Structure 1
Amino acid sequence: METEKYLSPEQHKEILRTLKSRFEKNMNRHNGLEWDNVLEKLEANPEKLWSLNEMERTEGEPDVIGFDEKAGEYIFCDCSAESPKGRRSVCYDREALESRKQHKPQTSAVDMAADIGIEILTEEQYRELQKLGCFDTKTSSWVKTPEKIRKLGGAIFCDRRYDTVFVYHNGAESYYAARGFRGLLRI
């Protein structure tokens, strides 16, 4: 089913209001950045605003976590305390989904990220996010898996326990109610 990537005027106003409020409440995530500059980028890229709305709808609580000077892009990331509720119980990718004979999840993390228009965090990006707060203390999140591991049937995920970020592995076809994924969007 193809989703129309369009926000109604009401949805447009609401997502901007939500993003502005979160931006102002969490200045530690984006020191030195100004909301008016972020807003200008958002208004110029309505398709990205749609993706941010999807991140919000799936309970990711997207927020600005940086600015890439070289690319001139703001970096948004899921900043929900736990792995986004609307993106849990998914296996890693399409190949893993198709390999399951029974009890298939609805979709995969890679497919869902593509549908939303976001990237799954890499392990390095996940570790950087953890410097901004304590995330995934009760859940875990799939992260972009190196091809070498994926070719052997595995996938990796991360969480935070004992004030430490851990990286683990599982079969890519596995899925759990407490494991989802976090996304990143550049605007």
Structure 2
Amino acid sequence: MKYNPFIESGSEREGDMKNIFLAALLGAATAADFKRGKIPNKLIIFGYLTGLMIRITEGGPAGLALGILEGLLTLAAFYIFYLTGAVGAGDVKLLSVIGLFSGIVFAVRTAFYSLLAAGVVAAIYLLKSGEAAARFQEFFSHIGICISQKKLIRYRTSGDKGNLHYALYISIGFLVALALGKEFR
């Protein structure tokens, strides 16, 4: 069978198995993020190696090359979020595993839905805590400093209470993208 990058896999069952594996990997990443405050590199490497094996099994050398390219493009596309301090390095690497497995388009959809989920939770938190005005003022002040200094500065709020555990939102984004994905192809 000739490799087609627009088809998830050779059969519906293979696509389901790939998604089950990704869901399990995301679950493990989320648990580790809550327990340790970061996603272990061993888990990311396991995801990369498994994704590479799947890509070469499904598409041969062309599938492997495309998988590597899509994983790297995903990594590059979301690296800016790490540089700004919006997410941790493990979160960006986790998104690149999704890009390797399912392609950059699916990874972007996952990131979009994860951003929406995190945004809703953050908005609820800010409204309930009464911190919305102060946080927005601090955020726009930070943007002004970046513009005046003509460089990107990692963003941290004065009231940071720890990690956001963004792996949870990536997992939510993955499930939403999976549920809605077939309608957007």
Q: Do these two structures clear the TM 0.5 threshold for a shared fold by scoring above it? A: no
Q: Which has the higher helix share?
A: 2
Higher gyration radius (CA): 2
What TM-score comes out, normalization by structure 1 length? 0.27
- The structure with the largest strand share of the pair is 1
